[in-house]
A and B are shown apart, each in its own frame.
Chain A
Amino acid sequence: EPEVTQTPSHQVTQMGQEVILRCVPISNHLYFYWYRQILGQKVEFLVSFYNNEISEKSEIFDDQFSVERPDGSNFTLKIRSTKLEDSAMYFCASSGGRLNTEAFFGQGTRLTVV
């Protein structure tokens, strides 16, 4: 069964460093997303990406964040100058159609900023 895969599963970084989280969405999907989940809290939307550009982003997704689809399979989230409060689970998801229904999630990357 097709699935969304994320790497790494865990990432520890020093405050102020840059991190890149990687995702391989389901191959025939058109919409790609990044979500964040701080420990014990709900899943929060960060950004959606369609047709090689950002289609929507939340207030959380400020200039510190950027996304890229460098080739036909990978979808990355870059976090510059990480802060302690960036520590969270980051989930990538993809969906097949314009209606954005049935988003399928990866297993997540646990980011710890120390």
Chain B
Amino acid sequence: GQQLNQSPQSMFIQEGEDVSMNCTSSSIFNTWLWYKQDPGEGPVLLIALYKAGELTSNGRLTAQFGITRKDSFLNISASIPSDVGIYFCAGPLGDKVIFGPGTSLSVIP
């Protein structure tokens, strides 16, 4: 079935560094969503993208909707310890939202 792929699977970075992660699909999506999940909690929506080529920021986070509509990128600038968590990309497919496997981010103070 349809699936989303994310890379890298995990990242270990120093506090203050910039982070980049991406999400790809074999199918076209009309919307890309990026969520963050802290341990033991539900996913929290960070950014929603609706248009191919769109670049949207939310504080230190920037996400882009790929021109091909088959990928999206999330960048985090000047990482801080509270950025630790799992970042999921997601997209609507029929009457559901499907999720990628996630990128686990660890920030070393």
Partner-B contacts on A (CB < 8 A): 4, 31, 33, 35, 41-45, 48, 50, 55-56, 58, 91, 93, 95, 99-108, 110
Contacts and interface: CB of A to CB of B under 8 A. Distances in A.
Interface residues of B, number: 25
Given A42-B88, A101-B50, A102-B48, A48 B95 contact: yes
Interface string B79-109: 0000000001010101111111110000000
Contacts of A48: 95-96
A43 to B, nearest CB: 4
B92 A99 contact: yes
A56 B94 contact: yes
Contact of A100 (B40, B42, B50, B95): B95
Give the interface centre of B43, B94, B102 by most chain A CB atoms within 10 Å: B43
11 contacts: A31-B95, A45-B96, A45-B97, A48-B96, A50-B95, A56-B96, A91-B43, A95-B97, A101-B92, A106-B42, A110-B40
B96 A100 contact: yes
Nearest to B86: A42
B27 to A, nearest CB: 15
A110 B42 CA distance: 11
Nearest to A103: B97
Contacts of B50: 101
A105 to B, nearest CB: 4
B11 interface: no
B54 to A, nearest CB: 13
B33 interface: yes
A38 B3 CA distance: 18
Interface in B35-85: 35, 37, 40-45, 48, 50
Given A33-B96, A99-B92, A107 B43 contact: no
Given A101-B33, A102-B33, A43 B44 contact: no
Nearest to A42: B101
A43 B96 contact: no
